[in-house]
Structure 1
Amino acid sequence: MTTPTPGLLPGIPLGMLRIHRGELIAVSIIGVILGLVGLFLPGVTLLTVAIIFGSYLIVSGIFRITAAFVSHGLTTGLRWLTGIMGLIVIVAGIICLADPFGSLVVLAFVIGIGWIAEGITDVIGGLRGSVRPRWFGIVSGVISILAGIVTFVLPALAVVTFVTIASVLLIVVSLSTLFTLPRRNAAATSV
């Protein structure tokens, strides 16, 4: 029977704490490295994301086509629909792999459309008074609409900016995890 670690993390055996601590250290170090790669090599990072996304689409399409053939209880119409959707998803994946940066620009456009739609909703909510304070809804909506327009005008810059912000956040979260881990000596002395 393992001894709980009183005062450190109640109910967690010391062996589990050591394993969990090691996992957190490894994941945090990987997070810092990936964040630095994203920060200093955004083009490589974007290319990798696009390739993974395209590959995911192909695998997902194959899964849908397989499901159309082997699923029990599907009507003929649903089988055809599932198979055709699988084929469309595979084609989308191939297009993403053929032009990875082009697929990222399309992704930026989708994000821009979402921001514009959200901004319009926020402005309307502010004008109608369904958001309190009203000015907050209006300001939030205008900022969202402007961000959507910028994403449309400069999609490549928008995608690079997304990667840069995500990389900085990944580094910050990873470092904060490393700095807030319980010390090894504290874990050993609490037994």
Structure 2
Amino acid sequence: MTFAINVRQYPAELINMVRTTIIVTSILGIALGVAILVWPKATLHVAALLFGLSLIFTGLMRIYQAAVASFLSAGWRILLGVLGVAILAVGIVALFHPAESLYLLAVFIGVGWLMQGVGELFAIGSGAKHAPTALLVLSGIISIIAGVVMIAMPGLALVTFLWVGAIMLIAVSIASLFTLPKKVDATPE
């Protein structure tokens, strides 16, 4: 997190508060990154539990939407309700079997990347001009490969993401410490 601060425009208290915020968030980021590297299984377990809670919340919201979406036809409301119950059930199972829910999460991510890659490749054929064709092809191929790897080797993919994410969190947190604004004396002159 970098803040470009002109010391003459802001009160000393604000500048010092920004300094303190950067220092605290950087230290927490470093600590979290190290904790992830030291306890990867525990971190994945917590991620699985959070995924389960997220599914439960999403399922409940779908059920609620099915109940109150009077502008939808009965068929759509039933479909939304059934989807909500299914998501809720998967979320409950994920809470009681967190390790298996990680594989489900990996497969969801993998399928999403596959769909994204295929979509980008189809965008080329449809004449989309939102990005250069070469970048769409490259992005599509990388997304498809990443999706296949995630689906074929979900455990390895998740652990790799965890390690890379932890290392990047530590690096960004350390880099943020080098961007601190100079401490300003808060006493009036």
TM-score w.r.t. the length of structure 1 is 0.73
Deviation of residue 87 (structure 1)?
5.5
Deviation of residue 151 (structure 1)?
0.8
Query: Equivalent residue for 2:137?
Result: 138
Secondary structure (helix, strand or coil) at the match of 2:185 reads: helix
Taking a change above 3 Å as real, the CA distance of residues 130 and 50 of structure 1, as seen in their structure-2 partners, is same
Q: State the distance in 2 between where 1:146 and 1:65 align.
A: 35
Q: State the distance in 1 between where 2:65 and 2:121 align.
A: 44
Query: Equivalent residue for 2:150?
Result: 151
Where do 5+ consecutive residues of structure 1 fail to align? 1-5
Aligned-pair identity in percent equals 35
Q: State the distance in 1 between where 2:82 and 2:141 align.
A: 40
Query: Given that residues 126 and 135 in structure 1 are in contact (C-alpha distance below 8 angstroms), is that contact kept between their aligned partners in structure 2?
Result: no
Q: State the distance in 1 between where 2:128 and 2:66 align.
A: 45
Alignment of 1:8-157 (within 5 A): 8=7, 10=9, 12-58=10-56, 88-126=86-124, 130=128, 133-157=132-156
Taking a change above 3 Å as real, the CA distance of residues 80 and 146 of structure 1, as seen in their structure-2 partners, is closer
Deviation track 1:84-135 (CA, whole Å, cap 9, x = no partner) reads 7765554333211111111111111111111111111222334566456433
Deviation of residue 51 (structure 1)?
1.7
Deviation of residue 46 (structure 1)?
0.8
Query: Given that residues 24 and 177 in structure 1 are in contact (C-alpha distance below 8 angstroms), is that contact kept between their aligned partners in structure 2?
Result: yes
Query: Equivalent residue for 1:173?
Result: 172
Q: Which fold has the larger relative contact order, with Cα–Cα distance below 8 Å and residues 6 or more apart in sequence? A: 2
Query: Given that residues 114 and 148 in structure 1 are in contact (C-alpha distance below 8 angstroms), is that contact kept between their aligned partners in structure 2?
Result: yes
Taking a change above 3 Å as real, the CA distance of residues 39 and 92 of structure 1, as seen in their structure-2 partners, is same
